């Protein structure tokens, strides 16, 4: 994100006093009809799932209309801040980015749906997204779908360099460095692994797996933990990879960081880390030579704790159609709808017991395992400001430039604490 986006998020957070005036149960069910408005984000919910939901609602409600309005990610926080505070403008059901939802839960802008947890999936709901949708021990937004990053690698390059698929996080670093040094095809600027400092989503796997969480709540204060033993171990490992297994970790742009399949397809990287849907963007000429695995954990046989990117779905507290919205929410957790995420979208559905269509493929099975082991970012209402102000990208770039790990960790802890406790 740019700093301008960070300021937008900060404005939304500053407006929580206004949103907190919203009731937790809406304005009652005094409505004239059973029409509903639902907001989904662009390219997230498969078209066939949307059509199913519209048709199902009409069947169950004597032809009533469920209108789906597609929203763009750019500017969505500001738009939600405006619409969710108004009973005349608010949609009745809304998809949120999983790192955004805490802002609106803490503001009182969403209705408590804790009593629906078991019916929506209970223990089968994606754990990290349950955490993302929970505030003060109550669930305000249910896990909708998620994806977690996997490691893609060139089989032929591993074979030429005499490298086996790593089974621990330490082995991964060694493999990436050895692959870079071997550079089997003699490519200029070759990366053992394409791991840009600006891709903090990938870096979170190291931080979470070592046991750090960026910040933990102690009493009423958030305390940064990157300078803890666990945090230092994670950042040291990352710096080792940046300095010894990559060529452009410190210089790759944000757009380049988001398209790791490009240097991989061009032969400039032996590995890259991305969601499972990145496979389709790899050059078809090398897809058969492409393998994949979930990033391993500290000990052999363990899976790393990745960050699960995805969405939650909740009911705006100002919607005048609370009971109808709860019914529509329940529909999106029926098996047929959830299956569409797995079969058509390539996502792990919020209720993982419906991930069968994805689990049946080798790539999808790895994805499901990664998501089930994923961890959420801190449930702090100001977390969006941390991400929006590029605190994490700045920290990782300093590591990639060779700055002292302990100094970087301590200074970043101070910055995070200042933002979260503001």
Strand partners, 139: 134
Confidence (pLDDT) at 31: 54
When pLDDT is cut at 50, 70 and 90, the band that residue 277 belongs to is confident
**pLDDT digit string, tens, across residues 81-99:** 899 999 999 999 999 998 8
When pLDDT is cut at 50, 70 and 90, the band that residue 184 belongs to is very high
When pLDDT is cut at 50, 70 and 90, the band that residue 27 belongs to is very low
Threshold 0.75, pTM exceeds: yes
Same domain, residue pair 156 and 290: yes
Which of 64, 127, 119, 67 has the alpha carbon at shortest distance from 93? 67
DSSP class of residue 309? E
Confidence (pLDDT) at 77: 84
* Summary mean pLDDT of the chain: 91
Same domain, residue pair 214 and 357: no
Helix axes 200-209, 391-400, angle to 10 degrees: 80
DSSP per residue over 374-420, as a string?
-BPPP--TTHHHHHHTTHHHHHHHHHHTT--HHHHHHHHHHHHHHHH
Average pLDDT over residues 365-372: 91
Average pLDDT over residues 276-305: 95
Residue where the block lists tokens 């994806």:
147
Confidence (pLDDT) at 199: 95
- State the Cα–Cα distance between residues 157 and 160, nearest whole angstrom: 5
Same domain, residue pair 302 and 177: yes
Instruction: Specify if 380 maps to a domain.
Output: no
**pLDDT digit string, tens, across residues 140-164:** 999 999 998 999 999 999 999 999 9
Same domain, residue pair 247 and 278: yes
Same domain, residue pair 210 and 225: yes
Same domain, residue pair 357 and 301: no
Confidence (pLDDT) at 388: 79
Same domain, residue pair 123 and 237: no
Q: Residue 250 is part of a domain; what is its CATH number?
A: 3.40.190.10
End-to-end CA distance of the chain: 21
Residue 351, pLDDT above cutoff 70: yes
Which of 244, 123, 230 has the alpha carbon at shortest distance from 174? 244
**pLDDT digit string, tens, across residues 224-248:** 999 999 999 999 999 999 999 999 9
DSSP class of residue 127? H
Q: Kind of pairing, strands 141-148 and 308-314?
A: antiparallel
Of 364, 382, 403, which one is at a domain's C-terminal end? 364
Residue where the block lists tokens 């998809």:
95
Same domain, residue pair 283 and 170: yes
Residue 4, pLDDT above cutoff 60: no
Asked if residues 271 and 157 have their Cβ atoms less than 8 Å apart, the reply is: no
Instruction: Specify if 141 maps to a domain.
Output: yes
Radius of gyration of the chain (CA): 22
Instruction: Specify if 383 maps to a domain.
Output: no
Whole-angstrom CA distances from 23 to 87, 284, 316 are 11, 53, 10
Same domain, residue pair 28 and 137: yes
Asked if residues 183 and 247 have their Cβ atoms less than 8 Å apart, the reply is: no
- State the Cα–Cα distance between residues 378 and 222, nearest whole angstrom: 9
Instruction: Specify if 101 maps to a domain.
Output: yes
Query: Which residues lie below 8 Å from residue 97, measured CB to CB, with a gap of 6+?
Result: 41, 73, 76, 311
Instruction: Specify if 381 maps to a domain.
Output: no
Of 324, 348, 364, which one is at a domain's C-terminal end? 364
Residue 309, pLDDT above cutoff 50: yes
Asked if residues 157 and 356 have their Cβ atoms less than 8 Å apart, the reply is: no
Residue 188, pLDDT above cutoff 50: yes
Domain count, the chain: 2
When pLDDT is cut at 50, 70 and 90, the band that residue 73 belongs to is confident
Confidence (pLDDT) at 153: 98
When pLDDT is cut at 50, 70 and 90, the band that residue 376 belongs to is confident
Instruction: Specify if 180 maps to a domain.
Output: yes
Average pLDDT over residues 94-118: 94
> Percentage of the chain with pLDDT > 90?
81
Which of 167, 179, 162, 173 has the alpha carbon at shortest distance from 270? 179
Instruction: Specify if 376 maps to a domain.
Output: no
- State the Cα–Cα distance between residues 36 and 43, nearest whole angstrom: 21
Domain that holds residue 342: 3-146+310-364
Confidence (pLDDT) at 382: 87
> Percentage of the chain with pLDDT > 70?
92
Same domain, residue pair 30 and 62: yes
Residue 65, pLDDT above cutoff 50: yes
Instruction: Specify if 412 maps to a domain.
Output: yes
Strand partners, 316: 110
Confidence (pLDDT) at 281: 95
Asked if residues 39 and 95 have their Cβ atoms less than 8 Å apart, the reply is: yes
Residue 306, pLDDT above cutoff 70: yes
Average pLDDT over residues 259-279: 95
Strand partners, 68: 38
Average pLDDT over residues 277-295: 95
Residue where the block lists tokens 């074979």:
159
- State the Cα–Cα distance between residues 269 and 100, nearest whole angstrom: 32
Same domain, residue pair 284 and 321: no
Which of 323, 304, 305, 307 has the alpha carbon at shortest distance from 315? 323
Whole-angstrom CA distances from 225 to 206, 230, 236, 407 are 14, 8, 14, 13
How far is Cα of residue 113 from the mean position of the Cα atoms in its chain? Answer: 22
Residue 49, pLDDT above cutoff 90: yes
Same domain, residue pair 264 and 405: yes
């Amino acid at each position: 994100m740019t700093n301008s986006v960070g300021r937008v998020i900060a404005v939304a957070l500053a407006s929580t006093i206004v949103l907190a005036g919203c009731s937790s149960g809406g304005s009652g069910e005094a409505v004239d009809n059973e029409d509903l408005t639902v907001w989904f984000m662009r390219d997230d919910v498969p078209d066939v799932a949307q059509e199913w939901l519209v048709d199902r609602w009409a069947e169950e409600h004597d032809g009533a209309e469920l209108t789906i309005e597609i929203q763009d990610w750019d500017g969505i926080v500001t738009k939600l801040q405006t619409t969710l505070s108004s009973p005349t403008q608010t949609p009745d059901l809304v998809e949120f980015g999983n790192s955004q939802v805490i802002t609106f839960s803490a503001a009182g802008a969403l209705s408590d749906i804790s009593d629906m947890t078991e019916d929506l999936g209970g223990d089968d709901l994606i754990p990290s997204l349950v955490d993302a949708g929970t505030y003060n021990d109550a669930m305000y937004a249910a896990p909708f779908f998620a994806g977690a990053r996997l490691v893609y690698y060139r089989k032929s390059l591993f074979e030429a360099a005499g490298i086996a698929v790593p089974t621990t996080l330490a082995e991964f670093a060694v493999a990436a460095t050895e692959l870079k040094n071997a550079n089997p095809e003699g490519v200029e600027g070759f990366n053992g692994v394409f791991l840009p400092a600006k891709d903090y989503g990938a870096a979170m796997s190291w931080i979470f797996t070592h046991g750090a969480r960026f910040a933990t709540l102690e009493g009423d204060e958030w305390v940064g933990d990157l300078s803890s033993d666990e945090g230092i171990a994670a950042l040291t490992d990352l710096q080792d990879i940046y300095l010894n297994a990559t060529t452009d970790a410190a210089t790759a742009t944000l757009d380049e960081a988001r398209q790791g399949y490009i240097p991989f397809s061009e032969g400039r990287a032996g590995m890259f880390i991305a969601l499972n849907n990145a496979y389709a963007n790899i050059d078809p000429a090398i897809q058969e030579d492409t393998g994949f695995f979930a990033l391993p954990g500290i000990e052999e046989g363990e899976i790393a704790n990745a960050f699960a990117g995805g969405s939650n779905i909740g009911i705006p507290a100002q919607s005048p159609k609370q009971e109808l919205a709860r019914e529509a929410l329940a529909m999106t957790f029926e098996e047929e709808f959830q299956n569409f995420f797995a079969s058509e979208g390539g996502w792990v559905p919020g209720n993982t017991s419906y991930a069968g269509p994805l689990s049946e493929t080798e790539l999808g099975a790895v994805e499901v395992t990664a998501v089930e082991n994923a961890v959420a970012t801190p449930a702090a209402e100001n977390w969006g400001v941390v991400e929006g102000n590029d605190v994490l990208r700045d920290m990782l770039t300093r590591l990639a430039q060779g700055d002292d790990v302990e100094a970087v960790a301590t200074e970043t802890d101070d910055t995070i604490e200042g933002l979260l406790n503001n």
